[in-house]
């Protein structure tokens, strides 16, 4: 009987040492942890840039439509209307920021969940948040590229006088402004299948473009509903960054965008932890 207790004690002690050793071995240094996040973000960005069905539309469509309307069709009228020129510029820029976050999460996450990629990611020795952070950084990178091309087109062909400070402020707003749309896409991607997600994402994307008032002034009967869309609040912040008149207080717009980001991200992460 005493011998059995001794064996059990030795086995328990050995198991404890093994678990402690495993914990020591799995503790990742800060530099390596940061490198893991950076590498995952780089691979995700390169992957989406190399995907023609994703990279080409979201990088080229906003600036192409801006050149069509602001230069070819209504160029003469907008040259004599600085407020109208700013309105067209901010509208297409916000549209370019919306797409990568919505579709990069809404469609891609739904498909990868369905294909079992998220289950594989959980089995890999990588930080749990690296998957989501990589996609957020990817959306920010796309937003920076879209904004840079829009600014270049506005300065060279659109005849829109922008200072260096205005350009940097617009870029900074769009980098952080991509996050609410990432959260919206993540919420869609965690609750739909790969077949349903493209349809739902497209409906929300198109509704937000036309009902938020970023493309054309809404009638008075619809102006009150524009505030429910994050695109409206991002557009108003861009007006302020460009020195134009805007509606509402800047802190209100920031609070709405931050609230949408935090709330939908929390609900989506909870859903991923429970259901996968």
Best CA proximity match to 186, nearest among 83, 120, 260: 260
Residues in contact with 141: Cβ distance below 8 Å, sequence separation at least 6, in sequence order? 45
Give the angle 52-196-41 at the CA atoms, nearest 5°: 45
Assign 16 a pLDDT band (cuts: 50, 70, 90).
very low
Q: What pTM did the predictor assign?
A: 0.85
Tell me: the pLDDT tens digits for 154-174? 998 877 888 999 999 999 999
Phi and psi at 194, nearest 5°, equal -65, -25
* Paired tokens of 255: 């609070």
Could you write out the DSSP letters of every residue in 168-230?
HHHHHHHHHHHHHHHHHHHHHHTTS-TTTHHHHHHHHHHHHHHHSSSSSPPPHHHHGGGGGSH
In the chain, domain spans: 31-274
Best CA proximity match to 211, nearest among 232, 190, 197: 232
Q: Please tell me the predicted confidence (pLDDT) of residue 31.
A: 77
Assign 3 a pLDDT band (cuts: 50, 70, 90).
very low
Q: How far apart are CA 65 and CA 49, in angstroms?
A: 20
Tell me: the pLDDT tens digits for 71-94? 899 888 888 888 889 999 999 999
Q: Please tell me the predicted confidence (pLDDT) of residue 250.
A: 93
Q: Is 187 helix (H, G, I), strand (E, B) or coil?
A: helix
Q: Please tell me the predicted confidence (pLDDT) of residue 18.
A: 39
Does the pLDDT at position 57 exceed 60?
yes
Best CA proximity match to 230, nearest among 265, 171, 269, 179: 179
Across the chain, mean pLDDT equals 86
Residue entry with tokens 């007006």: 239
Q: Please tell me the predicted confidence (pLDDT) of residue 266.
A: 95
């Amino acid at each position: 009987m005493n011998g059995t207790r001794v064996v059990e004690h030795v086995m328990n002690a050995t198991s404890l040492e093994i678990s402690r050793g495993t914990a020591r071995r799995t503790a990742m240094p800060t530099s390596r942890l940061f490198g893991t996040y950076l590498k995952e973000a780089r691979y995700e960005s390169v992957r989406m840039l190399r995907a023609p069905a994703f990279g080409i539309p979201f990088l080229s469509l906003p600036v192409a439509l801006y050149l069509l309307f602001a230069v070819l069709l209504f160029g003469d009228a907008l040259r004599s209307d600085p407020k109208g020129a700013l309105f067209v510029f901010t509208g297409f820029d916000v549209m370019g920021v919306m797409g990568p976050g919505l579709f990069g999460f809404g469609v891609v996450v739904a498909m990868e969940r369905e294909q079992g990629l998220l289950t594989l990611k959980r089995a890999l020795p990588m930080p749990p948040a690296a998957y989501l952070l990589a996609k957020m950084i990817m959306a920010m990178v796309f937003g920076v590229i879209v904004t840079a091309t829009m600014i270049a087109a506005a300065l060279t062909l659109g005849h829109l006088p922008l200072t260096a400070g205005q350009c940097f402020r617009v870029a900074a707003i769009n980098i952080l402004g991509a996050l609410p749309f990432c959260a919206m896409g993540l919420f869609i991607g965690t609750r739909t299948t790969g077949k349903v997600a493209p349809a739902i994402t497209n409906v929300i994307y198109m509704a937000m473009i036309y009902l938020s008032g970023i493309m054309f002034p809404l009638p008075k009967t619809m102006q009150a509903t524009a505030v429910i869309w994050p695109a409206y609040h991002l557009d108003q912040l861009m007006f302020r960054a460009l020195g134009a008149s805007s509606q509402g207080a800047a802190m209100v717009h920031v609070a709405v965008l931050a609230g949408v980001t935090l709330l939908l991200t929390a609900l989506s992460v909870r859903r991923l932890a429970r259901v996968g």
